[in-house]
Amino acid sequence: MNYRSFERVFKQFGIVSVSQVRATKLVFDKNNFGRWEKQDLLVKLKNGYYAFADIAGSKGFAYYAAGKIYKPSYISLRTALAFHGIIPETANDITSVSSLKTSTYKNNLGTFSYKKIKPSLMFGYNAIEKNGFTFFMASPEKAILDLLYLYPSCNLKKEIQNLRLDWKKLTAFAKKFKKRVILERVDLLKKTFLEGI
């Protein structure tokens, strides 16, 4: 299979995995991935996962890639807070949470980090579409709770000065963590925030 034939079959997915190609039963030399990467036709995201170079730089694509190379996961923490305009944009780092083990992948698109949380805490995110790419992003409230949960010593006061939170939603989500300390931190956060406005 030459590159043009490969592109016709798989480009619609944006990202292609070695196992996806194998499942098609097409005649394919897996060394093509390395050759096409050297020719700047593909970008390696992690072992076995590649993106088409001409779309990899598109706005929204890195968020899309974050969810494709590590499942289940959704973008959260400071990346989600930056996406929602709560804190300044970060570099090319995308941080997600997952019920799988903590992992990090570095590639030409940036650094993709995944922090482990309990499966029961995989909620509070929505599907978002940007430039034709769909990805899962935590709501501002859930991103803050994930931050409080994963980084207990985190001080969010400066990060949320201009935030308009749905406090009922934040409290309802916090109760699902079933940890008194999370509810206490939300109460403290609420008092600190409301005193500042």
Mean pLDDT of 5-24: 92
Residue type at 115 in one-letter notation? K
54 band by pLDDT with thresholds 50, 70 and 90: very high
CA distance 73 to 156: 23
Per-residue model confidence (pLDDT) at position 162: 52
Q: Which of 51, 100, 55 is nearest to 74 (CA)?
A: 100
Per-residue model confidence (pLDDT) at position 118: 95
157 band by pLDDT with thresholds 50, 70 and 90: low
Half-sphere exposure of 74 (CA within 13 A, CB side): 21
Going from N- to C-terminal start, the domains of the chain cover: 3-56, 61-195
The whole-model pTM stands at 0.82
pLDDT at 32 over 70: yes
Residue with tokens 């005193």: 195
